[in-house]
């Protein structure tokens, strides 16, 4: 009976998400509105949307399992992520508003192409290709996370769970584009907050009533579990801290589905409202997921799960009453769906805007571009499903690869474009190409197990961008071209 209650609650939640997609599918859409919302969305909604998208299956499924598997040293992941998130909202969001209007940009590659007019088509095409290559893996990771959740919760076959997630993502994204994605994100962000507040409370209550101790459990789990340094010293400690802290670099403007929220802001006032929303949300979420991982160690013991990424749904099923469990499980699926549909929309913008419209210079009407975008929603989702079905890697690992390839590469380009007036069009091209090639090579070798590509890609891409900009400067480059010198734009 309890399982039936849970299934009904989750089913009703899905219907609500799909209904939102249908409602916004009736809104008159042009290409700009489909991809970026047409400056109609409030700052608090974009803040919730950005965080619900950024803290996807990787944090609810992947990070809780990572804490369970490594102990206290995993905390540096949340510290690095939080610093990156706050830095982006405090210092980069306003710049994205300005460059969006100045260069009429709908995407990160669109901004870079407009900022560096020389080789603009090549820059936009390469940027779009970079995103498509890695975001297929990123999208696949979300769909795989959905399959794990359905399997753990309902014992539904993994493949069936992945197919259900794919259908929901298509239903939300197909009609209303960016606007429907953002408003479903808002609901999903609130659901994630509820899940990551209630589950830690339930877990800590169980620990207290059973006279258990988190500190004792960490000591018994194995060497280094009870230490913020993982029990390491010297070079090994430096590698651990860098690897866990390295999520920071991807937040510095280079994650397309997150920066799209900055570019969708109406004005700087909304950017401040978004920052406040993001800070409050992040503190609750990162604290909650860390407590969940540590509580699972305490309640069940190290090594008790063959797949540590199933911990959160398992805890919900065991600790919560049926109707609450249904809502909380919907919160997990919310984290997966909200990122999957946002990632899918980034792929759509890369195909329709970066490659077909701008890169190849095809003269297409707004209606044609919207139709192409909707077709890409279906095709992209199906490709993501194939990736999920054929990959055996953990959600956390696959997300890490995509984070390195796209976010860390484009973050290097954004930082240089915003703050260095000698950055050139050839420098941008070399940044994108070196990030793409280097990430693929690095994750294909054992080196990624020593030092993550999330660090090495950022610095390698930045290094090549600087070197080639110095070797091949743009003619008549004007120092006033740098974004930091532009006046504030009020809209």
In a domain, 491, yes or no: no
Mean of all residue pLDDT scores within the chain: 84
CA 93, CA 99: separation in Å to the nearest integer?
Answer: 10
* Mean pLDDT for the stretch of residues 363-369: 80
Q: Is residue 217 part of a domain?
A: yes
Is residue 490 domain-resident?
Answer: no
Distances (CA, A) of 406 to 85, 139, 341, 436: 16, 13, 17, 8
Is residue 55, in this structure, part of any structural domain at all? yes
CA-CA distance, 99 to 350, in Å (whole number)? 18
Q: Which domain holds residue 409?
A: 2-485
Q: What is the model's pLDDT at position 389?
A: 82
Predicted local confidence at residue 32, as pLDDT: 75
CATH number of residue 142's parent domain: 1.20.1730.10
Q: How confident is the model at residue 213 (pLDDT cuts 50, 70, 90)?
A: very high
Answer yes or no: is pLDDT of 420 > 90: yes
Inside any domain, residue 369: yes
In a domain, residue 417? The reply is yes
Write the pLDDT tens digit of every residue in 37-61.
Answer: 778 889 999 999 888 887 766 788 8
Give a yes or no: residue 246 inside a domain: yes
Closest CA relative to residue 286, chosen from 192, 397, 157: 192
Tens digits of residue pLDDT in 115-173: 998 888 899 999 989 888 888 877 887 788 777 777 777 777 888 888 888 888 887 77
Residue 28 reports pLDDT greater than 80: no
pLDDT digits (tens, 9 = 90+) for 428-476: 999 999 999 999 899 888 888 788 888 899 999 999 999 999 999 987 6
Confirm whether 323 is domain-assigned.
yes
**The pLDDT of residue 395:** 62
DSSP string covering 70-83 = H-GGGHHHHHHHHH
| Spatial distance between the Cα atoms of 396 and 145, rounded to a whole number of angstroms | 10
Give the chain's domain count.
1
- Which has the higher per-residue pLDDT, 487 or 196? 196
> What pLDDT digit, counting tens, does each position of 247-262 carry?
788 888 888 888 889 9
Structure confidence at residue 297 as a pLDDT band (50, 70, 90): very high
Q: How confident is the model at residue 490 (pLDDT cuts 50, 70, 90)?
A: very low
Is 414 within 8 Å of 92 (Cβ atoms)?
Answer: yes
Q: Please, which pLDDT band fits residue 491 given cuts at 50, 70 and 90?
A: very low
Contact (Cβ atoms closer than 8 angstroms) between residue 432 and residue 459: no
Rounded to 5 degrees, what angle do the CA atoms 29, 31, 34 make?
60
């Amino acid at each position: 009976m309890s399982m039936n209650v849970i299934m009904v609650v989750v089913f009703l939640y899905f219907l609500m998400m799909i209904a939102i997609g249908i409602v916004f599918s009736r809104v008159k859409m042009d290409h700009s509105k489909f991809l970026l919302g047409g400056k109609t969305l409030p700052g608090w909604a974009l803040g919730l949307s950005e965080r619900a998208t950024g803290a996807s299956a990787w944090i609810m499924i992947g990070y809780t399992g990572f804490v369970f598997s490594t102990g206290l040293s995993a905390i540096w992941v949340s510290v690095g992520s939080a610093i990156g998130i706050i830095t982006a909202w405090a210092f980069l969001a306003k710049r994205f508003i300005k460059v969006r209007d100045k260069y009429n940009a709908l995407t990160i590659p669109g901004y870079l192409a407009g900022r560096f007019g020389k080789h603009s088509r090549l820059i936009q095409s390469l940027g779009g290709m970079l995103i498509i290559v890695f975001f297929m893996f990123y999208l696949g990771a979300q769909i795989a996370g959905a399959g794990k959740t359905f399997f753990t919760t309902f014992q539904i076959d993994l493949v069936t769970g992945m197919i259900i997630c794919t259908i929901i993502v298509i239903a939300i994204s197909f009609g209303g584009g960016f606007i429907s994605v953002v408003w479903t994100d808002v609901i999903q962000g609130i659901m994630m907050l509820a899940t990551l507040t209630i589950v830690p409370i339930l877990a800590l209550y169980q620990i207290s009533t059973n006279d258990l101790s988190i500190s004792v459990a960490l000591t018994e789990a194995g060497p280094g579990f009870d230490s913020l340094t993982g029990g390491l010293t010297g070079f090994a400690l430096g590698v651990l801290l860098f690897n866990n802290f390295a999520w920071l670099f991807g937040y510095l403007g280079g994650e397309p589905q997150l920066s799209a929220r900055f570019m969708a802001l109406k004005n700087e006032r909304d950017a401040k409202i978004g920052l406040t929303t993001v800070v409050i949300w992040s503190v609750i979420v990162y604290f909650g997921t860390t407590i969940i991982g540590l509580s699972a160690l305490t309640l069940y013991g190290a090594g008790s799960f063959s797949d540590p990424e199933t911990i959160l749904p398992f805890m919900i099923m065991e600790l919560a009453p049926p109707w609450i469990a249904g809502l909380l499980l919907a919160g997990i699926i919310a984290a997966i769906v909200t990122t999957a549909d946002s990632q899918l929309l980034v792929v759509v913008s890369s195909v329709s805007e970066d490659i077909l419209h701008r890169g190849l210079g095809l003269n297409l009407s707004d209606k044609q571009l919207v139709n192409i975008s909707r077709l890409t929603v279906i095709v992209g989702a199906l490709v993501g499903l194939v990736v999920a079905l054929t990959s055996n890697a953990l959600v956390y690992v696959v997300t890490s690869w995509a984070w390195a390839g796209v976010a860390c590469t484009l973050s290097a380009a954004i930082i240089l474009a915003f703050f260095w007036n000698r950055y050139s069009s050839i420098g941008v091209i070399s940044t994108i190409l070196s990030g793409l090639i280097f990430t693929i090579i690095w994750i294909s070798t054992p080196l990624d197990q020593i030092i993550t590509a999330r660090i090495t890609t950022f610095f390698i891409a930045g290094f090549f961008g600087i070197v080639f900009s110095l070797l091949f400067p743009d003619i008549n480059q004007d120092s006033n071209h740098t974004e930091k010198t532009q006046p504030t734009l009020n809209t």
